[in-house]
Homo-oligomer: A and B are copies of this chain.
Amino acid sequence: MKAIQLKNIALVSVVVLLGMGGCKPKNAASAVDAGAAAKAYVAPGKYDEFYNFVSGGFSGQMSVYGLPSGRLLRVIPVFSVDPEKGWGYSEETKPMLNTSHGFVPWDDLHHTELSQTNGEIDGRWIFANGNNTPRIARVDLSTFRTNEIIEIPNSAGNHSSPFITENTEYVVAGTRFSVPPDNVNGDVPINTYKKNFKGTISFVSVDKTSGNMKIAFQLLCPGVNFDLSHAGKGPSHDWMFFSCYNSEQANTLLEVNASQKDKDFILAVNWKKAEEYLAQGKAKKQSVKYAHNVYDEKTHSATSTIETEVQVLDVKDFPDIAYFIPCPKSPHGCDVDPTGEYIVGSGKLAALIPVFSYTKLQAAIAAKDFIGNFGGIPVVKYESALYGEVKKPGLGPLHTEFDGKGNAYTSFFVSSEIVKWNIKDLKVLDRVPTYYSIGHLCIPGGDSRKPNAKYVIAYNKITKDRYLPTGPELAQSAQLFDISGDKMQLILDFPTIGEPHYAQAVSADLIKTKSVKIFKIEDNFNPYVSKGEGQTKVVRTGNRVDVNMTAIRSHLAPDNIEGIKIGDEVYFHITNLEQDWDVPHGFAIKGSVNAELLIMPGETQTLKWVPDRVGMFPMYCTDFCSALHQEMSGYVRVSPAGSNTKLLFSTGKNLPAADSTGTK
């Protein structure tokens, strides 16, 4: 009992600290080096040195910053609708947000993960997880667009995702909120958690050429909360490591009930071994429903397919697939150093950092140096897998990145700081305060085999007094530190879009040269493309009206349309005929209960419009495209249902009134 009381006291102190919204570091007014301005400044017209891909958290999107300037270059719509870009509103993009639950306009994007080849960032794709309705997205780094989203069945709270293996063989997805699997009756009392709730870990394969994702297999695991993950590297290439908390298997007031044990676990998964069982046909096929959405750059449109089967391996039936390693306390981050030898577990309620050795883990497994099992999975003896502990590094360690020079950088939420320590001797080398309550941190390539350790960036949860106040809601923020020297040097604070969680950065050279500037009009295979004004037309099929329209500086064609009637469903298929970079056109029509279209050069996008009243509806280009942009507009006349107004469309010809049968 005494031990438990002590634990609870420790917990209370943490909670008290939390009540303060993270501690304010003592040297809050710490001096910024006089050279900091010059280091952060990128002169007008100059490029930043790094792309920084930052998760949008509860915005559901991904943002792209330049470093060192901290300038927001782009917000990429991923899991949430974006009326600005017509994302989720155009007919072409609606399927991207389809799920087995229907069209979902939002999700919670936590982690970004750049594709890798041989453990190094290759600049092809970046993946992202959706937490709430479990999904993984793939963004193409030539277009900076979300090209694929796959839903994850048998899961909930897809948090330990989309971490990646060294050759992008797989992105993974772990269940944060265990649930009854989809194939059993989930209508069970919540307090039957221990019996009925399971966590799955999904391995989603990535096609080497197209990048297309497929759920290769799922591992059925005991009901706990899988939290974060990282792949092995080099010698540990075949392994993936997942942290988990709530090994108490509590189902209510987790704040208290999932903080009871001294240690939870890191789950070490031998995915190569799982592949073998899969090849042997030992996985069980399970009927499920999940959406798989793919955007086709040739047709400029997406399709959503509901898939109906996954292959599941119950880990308790395959004892050499997975092993639990005890890890103090409520572990969050689970990070593997560039050599692949060291696995760092960050217990968010711990006051030390355990560093596990891949070599020792293998020896312990070989020797069956187990202290028992949890849910049928062997539990390796803590000391047998442990390389050593970083003692008293700070309070509330969350995440660790690496500089490739033998050093680790760990973020501490509760004590609001970054601590640099040496991996070999586990000694603390430096610490800097962060403002405030840092979550993730990022070194370019800092979770790969080849970090580019010029900067570390802190992503903080609280900004409070750091920026001009903006009412009750404040931006969350990032802080840029120069780590080229022995000591970390604060250079810049910059606010972020949404809620930054994990972020990755990469040298701009790897991406900037292959950025697509326009879509070639001759390669546009959208079924409603108009490859020139001569191909524009308005076609009625029952109450469906298709308007094949073009946009080019500075007019829409057609720009006068008559003969639309109440009850019609009108589809504006707009092709942007421009073939120059940075000349998008937009499209909107008055009173539409829809968003706009934002159409890139050479692209076709479609807006559905159901007119709600008789009258005259202006339409226009919404993107200031030229000095005569304000003139880029037109009219659609809407007549009553059953009227005999003729279908007419033209540009510049001025429809003859005699051809119309209007009332005036």
A519 contacts the other chain (CB 8 A)? yes
Q: Are A631 and B44 in contact (CB under 8 A)?
A: no
- Residue of B at shortest CB range from A597? B58
Q: Are B177 and A560 in contact, with the CB atoms below 8 A?
A: no
B interface footprint on A604-644 (CB within 8 Å = 1, 0 otherwise): 00000000111111101011111110111111011110010
Set of chain B residues within 8 Å of A508, measured between Cβ atoms: 468
Q: How far is the CA of A332 from the CA of B626 in the complex (A)?
A: 13
Partner of A562, one of B21, B36, B189, B471: B189
* Smallest beta-carbon distance A242→chain B, Å: 14
Contact yes or no, A515 B43, CB < 8 A = no
Please name the 9 residue pairs, one residue from A and one from B, whose CB atoms are nearest each other, closest first.
Answer: A186-B615, A253-B652, A177-B618, A254-B631, A37-B41, A469-B515, A144-B471, A83-B106, A106-B595
Give the Cβ gap from A23 to chain B, nearest Cβ, in Å.
Answer: 11
Q: Are B472 and A143 in contact (CB under 8 A)?
A: yes
Beyond A72-B72, A473-B584, 11 additional contacts (C-beta under 8 Å) are A18-B627, A72-B495, A89-B106, A105-B593, A133-B591, A143-B471, A225-B630, A252-B650, A349-B627, A470-B515, A473-B600
Cα A439 to Cα B343 with chains together (Å): 53
Chain B residues lying within 8 Å of A56, measured Cβ to Cβ, are: 84
Q: Which of A351-359, A368-376, A456-464 contacts B (4 or more CB under 8 A)?
A: A456-464
Minimum distance in angstroms from A489 CB to a CB of chain B: 11
A145: chain B residues at CB < 8 Å are 471
Task: Determine whether the beta carbon of B108 is less than 8 Å from that of A187.
Answer: no
List the one stretch of A192-200, A229-237, A265-273, A379-387 in contact with chain B.
A192-200
Q: Is the CB of B469 within 8 A of A64?
A: no
Question: In the complex, A617→B133 CA distance in Å?
Answer: 10
Interface pair A469/B631, CB less than 8 Å apart: no
Question: Contacts of A74 on B, CB cut-off 8 Å?
Answer: 470, 473-475
Contact with A637, one of B45, B48, B187 (Cβ below 8 angstroms): B187
Q: Which of A113-121, A256-264, A445-453 contacts B (4 or more CB under 8 A)?
A: A256-264
Whole-angstrom distance between the Cβ of A235 and the nearest chain B Cβ: 31
The answer to whether A38 has its CB under 8 Å from any CB of chain B is: yes
A499 interface residue per 8 A CB criterion: yes
CA distance A508 to B652 in the complex (A): 50
What range describes how many residues of A lie at the interface? Answer: 35 or more
Tell me, yes or no, whether A516 is within 8 Å of chain B by CB.
yes
- Does residue A185 face the partner (Cβ distance < 8 Å to B)? yes
Cβ-based interface call for A435 (8 A)? yes
Residue of B nearest to A104 (CB): B593
Is A472's CB under 8 angstroms from B517's CB?
A: yes
- Whether A553 pairs with B664 at a CB distance below 8 angstroms is no
Tell me if B466 and A45 are in contact (CB < 8 A): yes
A167 within 8 A of B: no
Q: Does A339 contact B (CB under 8 A)?
A: no
Within 8 A of B (CB), among A63-98: 64, 66, 70-75, 80-81, 83-85, 89
Q: Can you identify 22 A-B contacts, CB atoms within 8 angstroms?
A: A36-B41, A37-B38, A44-B479, A44-B492, A72-B495, A72-B497, A73-B495, A74-B470, A89-B105, A101-B613, A102-B593, A108-B588, A108-B622, A131-B622, A144-B470, A159-B630, A187-B639, A187-B643, A190-B560, A254-B632, A463-B582, A472-B518
